[in-house]
Amino acid sequence: VKTRRKRALITNLSGPLALPLIGSVQKFLLLTPRNFLVKSRNYLNKFGTLSRCWVFDRLFILTADYEFVTQLLHSTDHLNTGYNNLLQPVYGVGLLRRDADEWQKRRQLITHALRPQILTDFVEVFAAQAQLLVERLREESDGKSSFNIQPYVQRA
């Protein structure tokens, strides 16, 4: 019943073909960190900045629309999800992954600090730190075997 309701609500959203039982999971089988940005750009070009994607019985609404994301992050209704708990061991608990009440308080405190004019001053710092992360990951990587990037991502 929930799936029927979701399908009825999203009839106007474009997205990839969803097969019975597995949804659009086939779209993610060949997704790698190397091709993620290219595939994301192609997906946006094909389906638009607001689209839907089924992975098994889970509906994901994908967006690259600034106004939509702004409205979503200003609302506390959609912040408490089970996905926060799922991702916590990997990414830790950061500003964007707080419970709704904590998020609202902290967002109000840092709204001024995250304005575009102020953030532009930090682009060089961000670039330097990103380069440092890449260098550390490159040192760890031999190009043949995998390794745990969790400690590096949590420090970043």
3-state class of 52 per DSSP? strand
Is there a single domain that holds both residue 86 and residue 35? no
Proportion of the chain above pLDDT 90, given as a percent:
3
**Separation between Cα atoms, residue 123 and residue 129, nearest integer Å:** 10
pLDDT tens, position by position, 48-103: 888 888 888 888 888 888 888 888 777 766 666 655 555 565 556 665 556 666 76
Residues 42 and 77 in one domain: no
How many domains is the chain partitioned into structurally?
3
Q: Are 96 and 78 in contact (CB under 8 A)?
A: no
The residue segments making up the domain with residue 80 are 71-112
pTM over 0.85: no
State whether 93 and 130 are in the same domain.
Answer: no
Q: What is the pLDDT of residue 13?
A: 87
Six-digit token string for 132: 């440092």
Same domain assignment for residues 44 and 77: no
Task: Mark whether 121 and 148 lie in a shared domain.
Answer: yes
Residues in the chain: 156
- Residue 79: per-residue pLDDT: 61
Q: Per-residue pLDDT tens for 107-124?
A: 776 776 677 777 788 888
Based on the fold, state whether residues 1 and 49 are members of the same structural domain: yes
50: phi > 0 → left, psi -120 to 50 → alpha, else beta; which? beta
Question: Are residues 10 and 43 both part of a single domain?
Answer: yes
Residues in Cβ contact with 72 at an 8 Å cutoff, skipping those fewer than 6 apart:
63, 78
Count the Cβ atoms, other than its own, within 10 Å of residue 43.
Answer: 17
Tell me the residue type at 60. Answer: F
11 plus 24 within the same structural domain: yes
Together in a domain, 15 and 45:
yes
Both 2 and 58 in a single domain? yes
Same domain, 126 and 88: no
- 109-123 burial, b at 16+ Cβ within 10 Å, e below that, comes to eeeeeeeeeeeeeee
Judgement on whether residues 90 and 58 belong to the same structural domain of the protein: no
